[in-house]
Amino acid sequence: MDKVPTLKMGDTLILTIQVELHDKTAIRLQEDILERVYDTKPQGLVIDVSAVGVVDSFLGRMLSDTATMVRTMGVETVLVGIQPEIAITLQEMGLELKGGAFSP
């Protein structure tokens, strides 16, 4: 997989997930994000998941863990662009995304 496209705007690091992630790429993505946060020292991290069609328990947990790890590094995460059907799916599944904030 190519490196995750990130964009630093002011003090904010913006990252867009544009591919359907499978488990190994999701784990690599997590490491990439943490490295990028360390290198760029942003005030906040925005993860745009509007192109993600399915968030299952694995990906949900990975996003949640990532936000928690990023918080440990002193940076808050905001997840943006969660599609309505994904919000419903997470609720039905009983998976709560923790560690970050949300924005439409």
Partner 1 sequence: MAEIKRDEDGKVIRIEEEHHVDMARRTAKECSVLMGFGEVKTALIATSVSELARNILVHAGKGTVVLRAISQEENPPSPPFGKGGLGGFSGERRGLEIVFADQGPGIEDIERVLKGGYSTKGSSGIGLSGAKRMMDEMEIESGSGKGTTIWIRKWL
CA distance 18 to 24: 16
Using CB under 8 A as the binding rule, whether residue 53 contacts partner 1 is answered as: yes
Residue 84 beta carbon to partner 1: minimum distance, rounded to whole angstroms: 7
Locate 52 and state its tokens: 């993600």
Backbone angles phi, psi at 98, to 5 degrees: -115, 170
d(CA 86, CA 27): 20
If one asks whether residue 57 binds partner 1 (CB under 8 A), the answer comes out as yes
Number of residues that bind partner 1 (CB under 8 A): 21
Residue 61 or 76 with smaller CB distance to partner 1: 61
Q: Applying CB under 8 A, which part among 1-9, 31-39, 41-49, 90-98 lies near partner 1? A: 90-98
Say how far apart CA 9 and CA 24 lie, in whole Å. Answer: 29
Interacting positions 5-44 with partner 1 (CB under 8 A): 20, 22-24
